[in-house]
């Protein structure tokens, strides 16, 4: 009988090609690209989501999944469902360990906003709220 653990372990050998470009190869499981695993006898179905609706590596990812899962004893058929929910991936779906690896390689830049004194600068990403500036310049502390 095929177990979810065997399938998950095989999927950990499939690396998201785009993560390789960052210098931190991350497997599909830690990337949060799996929506689900269904096992019905010798048939394994993977519900998959991609990191982009324009993923030009989709066919390579699916082929790698099929190749790795077919190595499991008892697996005779593998399918990948990419129809429903396949484009709903968000970075927050990544495992915390994968996020940490990426941040070590690509730290968030410190944001400097023109016209604001140093004590009003933000230390996080650009989309974090910064102190508001009024029509006469920076808001009083």
Q: Could you tell me if residue 106 is inside a domain?
A: no
119 falls within a domain: no
- Between 119 and 140, residue with greater pLDDT: 119
Domain-located, residue 136:
no
Q: Give the residue-averaged pLDDT of 77-92.
A: 86
Q: What mean pLDDT is predicted for residues 18-43?
A: 92
State yes or no: pLDDT of 100 exceeds 50.
Answer: yes
At residue 83, the pLDDT reads 83
Mean pLDDT of 67-90: 90
CA distance 24 to 110: 22
Q: Is residue 50 part of a domain?
A: yes
Total number of domains in the chain: 1
Q: What is the mean pLDDT of the chain?
A: 82
Residue 36, domain member (yes or no): yes
55 within domain boundaries: yes
Domain region containing 81: 4-95
Question: Whole-prediction pTM value?
Answer: 0.71
Q: How confident is the model at residue 121 (pLDDT cuts 50, 70, 90)?
A: low
**CATH number for the domain including 38?**
3.30.300.130
When pLDDT is cut at 50, 70 and 90, the band that residue 133 belongs to is: very low
- Sign of the Cα torsion 53, 56, 62, 68 reads negative
Residue 138, strand partner residues: 133
Q: Is the pLDDT of residue 129 over 50?
A: no
The three state secondary structure string of 95-127 is CHHHHHHHHHHCCCCCCCCCCCCHHHCCCCCCC
Q: Is residue 100 part of a domain?
A: no
Asked if pLDDT for residue 36 goes beyond 60, the answer is yes
Task: Give the DSSP per-residue string, 24-81.
Answer: ---BHHHHT-EEEEEEETTEEEEEE--S-TT-TTHHHHHHHHHHHHTTSTT--EEEEE
- Mean pLDDT computed over 28-34: 95
Is 15 part of a structural domain of the chain? yes
């Amino acid at each position: 009988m095929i177990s979810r653990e065997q399938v998950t372990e095989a999927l950990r050998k499939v690396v998201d090609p785009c993560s390789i470009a960052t210098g931190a190869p991350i497997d599909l499981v830690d990337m949060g690209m799996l929506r689900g695993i269904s096992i019905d006898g010798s048939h394994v179905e993977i519900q998959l989501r991609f990191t982009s609706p324009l993923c030009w590596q989709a066919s390579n990812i699916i082929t790698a999944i099929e190749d790795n899962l077919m190595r499991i004893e008892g697996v005779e058929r593998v399918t990948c469902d990419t129809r429903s929910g396949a484009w709903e991936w968000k970075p927050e779906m990544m495992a915390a360990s994968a996020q940490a690896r990426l941040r070590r390689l690509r730290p968030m830049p410190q944001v400097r906003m023109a016209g604001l004194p140093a004590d009003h600068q933000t230390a996080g990403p650009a989309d974090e709220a910064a102190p508001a500036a009024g029509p006469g310049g920076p808001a009083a502390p």
